């Protein structure tokens, strides 16, 4: 059994029989010594879909040949360009088209959502978040608490991990909501935790949060394109995410935002801009803001068309693959990675990410067990650098974690076997 896991011929046969195998050829795989890298960093920067270049060049061509007319001329006029990504994006996140919009960057969208949905009062001033959140999220939440004149010491409640590997149980979340519920204005929670790779039950968090009288918003940076999120059914009030990780839309890509349909006509305050104004009267330019119903009403500016073009290409790939099939393949790939580690590498790598498939996405966070590496440095960084010199690309989190994320669109079992083989080679030499 163990040996068949490591049998390259058997692994190649499984890859060849995989129904999604063809998608790998639709991405630019970076090379190492003339052969593709084993690239496991799609949780940080997803690879470029080959279709992206044509989409970007189409915009450049339109600009060159049509200039201002490009706003109106088919195909793909710029005026309604965001709508070209809307339906496919709604599909990926399990939302209605009117609930999603591609705009700005993740942290900007988080602030815009908090402006509308975090309305603290003296009775209910607090936000519940996870301790150890991605720093930008913490900065955004802390600054929002301060902006409203409240004190992060008491009103930014950070829930500490209660499980051995730094993950958080649903029981702990429920207990925190029960304890602080009467003071909570909002809960902001990740879909998939960036450091541990833990996936959360969004629907249950939203249910508990709403029952306590709080607004519930999600940061899906590591969840979108990775796990099915069913945003509409989760009943979240809002969600934000970026498109450069599993969504493969390029560095600093235009981000995403979800506002639940029940808020489509909200009277909540918002920071407004002309692109959120009702489209029929936007160009009357009369100075009175009338919001477009739904998520599009939060747009500020006319969007960067060159930035949206790669997202179009990426969503075209996602539409053909489909999230259910991608998730099925992702479960297989990550289970294979886990099996290899458990079979041969358990003395070197400790899996931090939860073992239950429904509590994780593609990523496994691997703690490198203590020891000295080839160069006498701490083992973790030494192994990480060794892998990079062999064309195996993960990413590094201080002090001792390597994150390995097999992306089901372009990674295969052979990549995963290569990772395990190189870790074993390093261990043999160390
Ligand atoms: C990647 C990531 C960010 C990055 O924020 P930007 O505004 O896109 O720079 C923020 N939060 C989380 C949880 C992330 O994973």
- If DSSP states are collapsed to H, E and C, what string results for 318-358? HHHHCHHHHHHHHHHHHHHHHHHHHHHHCCCEEECCCCCHH
Interstrand relation of 31-32 and 184-190 (parallel, antiparallel or unpaired) = unpaired
Tell me whether residue 134 is annotated as binding. Answer: yes
At residue 285, the pLDDT reads 75
For the Cβ of 221 lying below 6 angstroms from any atom of ligand 1, the answer is yes
Q: Which is the closest atom of ligand 1 to the Cα of 221?
A: 15
pLDDT in tens, 305-318: 999 999 999 999 99
Report the separation in Å between the CA atom of 105 and the middle of ligand 1, taken as the mean of its atom positions.
9
Q: What is the pLDDT of residues 161-181, one digit of tens each?
A: 999 989 999 999 999 999 999
- Say if ligand 1 is within 6 A of residue 136 CB: yes
Q: Is 260 part of any known ligand binding site?
A: no
Domain with residues 55-320, CATH architecture: 3-Layer(aba) Sandwich (3.40)
User: In terms of Cα–Cα distance, which of 220, 289, 260 is closest to 117?
Assistant: 260
pLDDT exceeding 90 applies to what percent of the chain?
91
Angle between helices 323-340 and 413-429 (to 10 degrees): 20
Pairwise CA distance, residues 408 & 62, whole Å: 34
The pLDDT tens digits of the residues spanning 254-273 come to: 999 999 999 999 989 999 99
Contact 94, 235 (CB under 8 A): no
CATH architecture of 2-36+322-429: Alpha-Beta Complex (3.90)
Q: Tell me: the pLDDT tens digits for 64-121?
A: 999 999 999 999 999 999 999 999 999 999 999 999 999 999 999 999 999 999 999 9
222 lines ligand 1 (CB under 6 A): yes
Which string of b and e fits 276-300 if b means at least 16 CB within 10 Å? bbeeeeeeeeeeeebbbebbbbbbb
Is 121 marked within a binding site?
A: no
pLDDT given at position 374: 57
216 vs 380, residue with greater confidence = 216
pLDDT for 146:
98
**Binding site annotation covers 222?**
yes
Q: Which of 104, 106, 133, 200 to mutate to test the pocket of ligand 1 (most atoms within 8 A of CB)?
A: 106
Best CA proximity match to 333, nearest among 9, 1, 21: 21
Cβ 128 under 6 angstroms from ligand 1: no
Q: What is the pLDDT of residue 375?
A: 60
Closest CA to 48 of 248, 221, 242, 308: 248
**Averaged pLDDT of the chain:** 95
| Ligand 1, atom nearest to 107 Cα | 7
In the structure, what pLDDT confidence band is assigned to residue 279 with cuts at 50, 70 and 90?
A: confident
How many CB atoms sit inside 10 A of residue 248's CB?
A: 28
The CA distance from 371 to 245, in Å, is 32
Atom of ligand 1 nearest to the CA of 242: 8
Is residue 61 scored above 90 in pLDDT? Answer: yes
- Per-domain residue ranges for the chain? 2-36+322-429, 55-320
Q: Quick check: 50 pLDDT over 60?
A: yes
Beta carbon of 219 within 6 Å of any ligand 1 atom: yes
The CA–CA distances, whole Å, from 156 to 198, 216, 282, 370 equal 22, 15, 38, 35
372-419 pLDDT, tens digit per residue, is 555 656 788 999 999 999 999 999 998 899 999 999 999 999 999 999
pLDDT of residue 370: 72
130 lines ligand 1 (CB under 6 A): no
Percentage of residues of the chain with pLDDT beyond 70: 98
Helices 8-16, 413-429: axis angle to 10 degrees equals 160
* Predicted local confidence at residue 373, as pLDDT: 59
Over the range 334-343, which residues count as b (16 or more CB within 10 Å of their CB) and which as e?
bebbbbbbee
74 burial level (CB within 10 Å; 0-12, 13-18, 19+)? exposed
Identify the pLDDT of residue 2.
66
Pairing, β 215-219 against β 184-190: parallel
Residue 136 in marked binding region: yes
217 alpha carbon – ligand 1 mean position (Å): 15
How remote is the CA of residue 215 from the centroid of ligand 1, in Å? Answer: 21
Would you state the pLDDT for residue 372?
57
**Does residue 168 contact residue 195 with C-beta atoms inside 8 Å?**
no
């Amino acid at each position: 059994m163990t040996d068949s896991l490591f049998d390259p011929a058997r692994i190649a046969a499984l890859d060849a029989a995989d129904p999604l195998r063809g998608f790998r050829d639709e991405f630019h795989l970076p090379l190492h010594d003339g052969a593709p890298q084993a690239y496991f960093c799609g949780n940080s920067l997803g690879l470029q879909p080959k279709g992206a270049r044509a989409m970007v060049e189409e915009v450049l061509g339109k600009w060159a040949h049509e200039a201002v007319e490009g706003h109106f001329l088919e195909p793909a006029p710029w005026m309604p360009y965001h709508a070209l990504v809307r339906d496919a994006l709604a599909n990926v996140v399990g939302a209605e088209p009117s609930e999603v919009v591609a705009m700005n960057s993740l942290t900007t969208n988080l602030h815009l959502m908090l402006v509308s949905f975090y309305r603290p009062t003296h009775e209910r001033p607090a936000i519940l978040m996870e301790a150890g959140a991605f720093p930008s999220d913490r900065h955004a939440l802390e600054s929002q608490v301060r902006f409203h004149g409240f004190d992060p010491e008491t009103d930014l409640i950070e829930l500490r991990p209660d499980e051995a590997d730094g993950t958080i149980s649903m029981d702990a979340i429920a207990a925190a909501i029960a304890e602080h519920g009467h003071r909570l204005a909002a809960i902001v929670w990740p879909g998939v935790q960036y450091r541990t790779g833990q996936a959360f039950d969004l629907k249950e968090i939203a249910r508990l949060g709403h029952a306590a009288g709080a607004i519930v918003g999600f940061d899906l940076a590591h969840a979108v394109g990775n796990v099915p999120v069913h945003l509409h059914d989760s009943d979240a009030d809002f969600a934000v995410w970026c498109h450069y990780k599993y969504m493969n839309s390029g560095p600093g890509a235009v981000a995403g935002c979800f506002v639940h349909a029940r808020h489509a006509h909200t009277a909540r305050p918002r920071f407004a801009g002309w692109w959120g104004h009702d489209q029929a009267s936007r160009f009357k330019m009369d100075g009175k803001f009338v919001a477009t119903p739904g998520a599009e009403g939060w747009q500020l500016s006319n969007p960067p068309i060159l930035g949206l073009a790669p997202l179009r290409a990426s969503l075209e790939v996602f539409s053909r693959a489909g999230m259910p099939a991608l998730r099925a393949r992702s479960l297989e790939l990550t289970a294979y990675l886990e099996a290899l580690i458990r079979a041969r590498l358990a003395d070197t790598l400790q899996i931090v990410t939860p073992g239950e498939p429904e509590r994780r996405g593609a990523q496994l966070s691997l703690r490198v067990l203590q020891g000295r590496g080839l160069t006498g440095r701490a083992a973790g960084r030494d192994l990480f650098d060794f892998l990079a010199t062999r064309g195996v690309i993960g990413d590094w989190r201080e002090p001792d974690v390597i994150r390995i994320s097999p992306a089901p669109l372009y990674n295969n079992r052979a990549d995963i076997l290569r990772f395990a083989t190189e870790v074993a080679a390093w261990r043999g030499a160390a």
